[in-house]
Structure 1
Amino acid sequence: MQYAAGAALPVGADAIAFGRELLRQGRRNLHALFHCNSQQSNLLAGAGALDKLECGFSGLEGFGFANGLRRAVESGQLLLEDYSNLAMPLRFLGGALNWPFVPTTTCIGSDIQHFSAYAPDEVPARGKIPPVRDPFSGREIGALSPLRPDLAAIHVTLADPRGNGILIGSEWSRFELSRAARRVVLIADHIVDTDCMRQYPNLVRIPDVIVEAVVWWPFSAWPAASPGVHDADETHMKRMNEALGSAEGTAAYLAEYVHGYADLDAYLALIGEDNRRALADTATAFLLDPYRRWFLPRERIEALAAANLAGTSARNAATEVPA
């Protein structure tokens, strides 16, 4: 399965909790598509869940190189296909527009064009960014393959129960990804009343018509940041990346921080109440002030989820064919 996640910088706005859940369910052999490697793809690679990864940046900025990713690539377990930070959103855009290929002038003449993890013995690689002729100028440019992932798990700051989403902070390619993916799941810090979306329709970058499901999961970006909601947990970012540097460290990390909780309350307890309070005391908290009046309380969110689950079960029962 081709799996993509929506993230901004490697240290923010990625639904890392969704990656943890993929591991909890034993998902393997994923072909991951990330604009930027994040702690999610670092974790999935280190845990052995990926066999292919295409991304435009592979580090973790101030937290060092991604050790889980490095170990998976160097062991030969994972094929890493490298692109630029411009090429990846262009490929998502091409998928969103259903183009057969994406004309490009980025990466041309570089090692990114000439070397492919999928054809390591073919240099220059003919099939990665093949040359095409501009019919208007006659200039030779490149052709990028469009991306249409099977599933995109996109972190959003605010979502309503219908699936409309608002992003706070740098967007990167989450807009293009939401249109390119065959199925889209939003993982939201806050669930808001739909009146919030009606008040700010110009800010709804992901509309409900393309969304498969909405998941309310506070601190889903932890230990990375969610602008306006919480800062990065720098101590855990370093600890996590260090653990992913070895098989033994990864196994211990998975036992505690992937398989060590059963529900949302246990997950939040794992982060720690005092730690969550400190992380939420962020200088960017004012960004959420215009929307707070529409935040739905937990009991309302859980009631909506229960009603939705009951409705789904009833619909499934109604469509069952007797033996």
Structure 2
Amino acid sequence: MPNKLISLAEAVRRFSWDGMQYASGAALPIGSDAIVFGRELLRQKRKDLHAIFHCSGQQLNLLAAAGAATKAECGFAALEVVGFANGLRRAVESGRLALEDYSNLAMTLRLLGGALNWPFVPATVNIGSDLQYRSAFSPDEFPARSKIPSVTDPFSGREIGAFSPLRPDVAAIHVTLADPNGNSILLGTEWSRFELSRAAKKVVVIADALVDPACIRQYPNLVRIPDILVEAVVYWPFAAWPHSSPGMYDMDEEHTFFMNKALASEQGTADYIRDFVESYSDLDSYLDLIGREKIKTLSASGSSFLLDPYRRWIFAPEDVASLTAQGLST
């Protein structure tokens, strides 16, 4: 079976570089995000990243705390009940990271503009406020003229704003299910992963489970990311941990609080990277790090029924290993 399966380490080696525009899909503690890809970026010492997150969560928090991201654009920068993202706060307040702020809707529209290859996106939100007038990328300019410049609607004569479209170099997108070629089904809220997959120049999908292509043929209408958009597929259960993945596992609330507390200081960040980024060598040791009993608990989710229609097509880990050996890694 021809396929695009690749190891996580190889995906980061092949599809990332210092200084790139890097985007990831979904966020918030309850939103699926390819956090394990961000961990691997740190393991491979990537730096000067320009991070693009519709709604930031623990991945941007970690990349900012570690100093790997020096620019970021996002529409929300908190962790809900967990509190503000401490690593991101430290990076911004110290001047190590410039954070350009937009609304959630603005980020969605900018990704849509990138997906449709628009020269700019008409903006009727964020205008007339500091979201338009203040720019972290041009801090000495007020009002900022390059962030959301004014344009005239040629039909009505009304003055509106113009968003720049987003076309990130690489997007690592967490998906619930993928076949070996990258056709992907997303369970739960999407957080613009649909638009991101079409806006990014290269897409790597990180799947909690791998399914037989027969599953895709059974539910073609549910495929939100088709294989034609995908460069590579990484199989990595609990890729969104400590975030949740609807149908698969709940948010690890205990670790989310622990992680955010650790990222509040330089020493705590160094300790966290030592213990939870650099300490595992493969998928099995990663799952051991989370804890097998905790995995059982988190997997006993109230949303598990969402996976029921697809269970018959999910590949066992040994089948995935065999397929990966035949994939892009070779």
Structure-2-length-normalised TM-score: 0.93
Pair 1:32-2:60 in alignment: no
Q: Which has the higher contact order (CA 8 A, sep 6+)?
A: 2
Describe the superposition over 1:130-165 as per-residue Cα deviations: whole angstroms up to 9, x where unpaired. Answer: 010011111111000001000000000000001100
Using the TM superposition, give the Cα deviation of residue 106 of structure 1 relative to its aligned residue in structure 2, in angstroms: 0.6
1:59-98 alignment, distance < 5 Å: 59-98=78-117
Pair 1:214-2:233 in alignment: yes
Tell which deviates more after alignment, 8-17 or 81-90. 8-17
Matches of 1:56 and 1:309, distance apart in 2 = 34
Using the TM superposition, give the Cα deviation of residue 10 of structure 1 relative to its aligned residue in structure 2, in angstroms: 4.3
Amino acid of the structure 2 residue aligned with 1:194: P
**1:94 counterpart SS class:** helix
Match among 238, 259, 263 for residue 244 of structure 1: 263
8 Å contact kept, 1:151–1:181 = yes
Amino acid of the structure 1 residue aligned with 2:34: A
Describe the superposition over 1:237-281 as per-residue Cα deviations: whole angstroms up to 9, x where unpaired. Answer: 000000000000000000000001010000000000100000000
Q: Where does residue 234 of structure 1 map in the other structure?
A: 253
8 Å contact kept, 2:34–2:206 = yes
Q: Where does residue 181 of structure 2 map in the other structure?
A: 162
Using the TM superposition, give the Cα deviation of residue 9 of structure 1 relative to its aligned residue in structure 2, in angstroms: 3.6
Amino acid of the structure 2 residue aligned with 1:214: V
Q: Where does residue 316 of structure 1 map in the other structure?
A: none
Using the TM superposition, give the Cα deviation of residue 11 of structure 1 relative to its aligned residue in structure 2, in angstroms: 3.1
Q: Where does residue 113 of structure 1 map in the other structure?
A: 132
Matches of 1:268 and 1:207, distance apart in 2 = 28
Pair 1:303-2:322 in alignment: yes
**1:154 counterpart SS class:** strand
Using the TM superposition, give the Cα deviation of residue 120 of structure 1 relative to its aligned residue in structure 2, in angstroms: 0.8
Q: Where does residue 260 of structure 1 map in the other structure?
A: 279
Match among 175, 189, 192 for residue 194 of structure 2: 175
Q: Where does residue 69 of structure 2 map in the other structure?
A: 50
- Aligned-CA RMSD value: 0.8
**1:86 counterpart SS class:** helix
Matches of 2:56 and 2:156, distance apart in 1 = 36
8 Å contact kept, 1:8–1:171 = no
Describe the superposition over 1:286-308 as per-residue Cα deviations: whole angstroms up to 9, x where unpaired. Answer: 00000000000111111011012
**1:184 counterpart SS class:** strand
8 Å contact kept, 2:182–2:227 = yes
Matches of 2:199 and 2:263, distance apart in 1 = 31
Identity %: 68
Match among 286, 290, 293 for residue 274 of structure 1: 293
Amino acid of the structure 2 residue aligned with 1:103: P
Give unpaired runs (5+ residues) of structure 2: 1-19
Describe the superposition over 1:153-198 as per-residue Cα deviations: whole angstroms up to 9, x where unpaired. Answer: 0000000001100000001210000000000000001000011111
Q: Where does residue 60 of structure 2 map in the other structure?
A: 41
Amino acid of the structure 1 residue aligned with 2:43: R
Match among 130, 143, 167 for residue 148 of structure 1: 167
Using the TM superposition, give the Cα deviation of residue 219 of structure 1 relative to its aligned residue in structure 2, in angstroms: 0.4
Describe the superposition over 1:90-137 as per-residue Cα deviations: whole angstroms up to 9, x where unpaired. Answer: 111111111110001010101100100011111110000001001111
Specify the structure having the higher radius of gyration (Cα).
1
Matches of 2:243 and 2:184, distance apart in 1 = 20
Matches of 1:257 and 1:36, distance apart in 2 = 23
Match among 210, 217, 225 for residue 198 of structure 1: 217
Matches of 2:98 and 2:328, distance apart in 1 = 38
8 Å contact kept, 1:31–1:51 = yes
Give unpaired runs (5+ residues) of structure 1: 313-323
Using the TM superposition, give the Cα deviation of residue 309 of structure 1 relative to its aligned residue in structure 2, in angstroms: 4.6
Matches of 1:90 and 1:19, distance apart in 2 = 24
Matches of 1:288 and 1:64, distance apart in 2 = 31
**1:53 counterpart SS class:** strand
Q: Where does residue 124 of structure 1 map in the other structure?
A: 143
8 Å contact kept, 1:11–1:38 = no
Q: Which runs of 4+ in 1 moved over 6 A?
A: none
Structure-1-length-normalised TM-score: 0.95
Using the TM superposition, give the Cα deviation of residue 50 of structure 1 relative to its aligned residue in structure 2, in angstroms: 0.5
Matches of 2:263 and 2:76, distance apart in 1 = 18
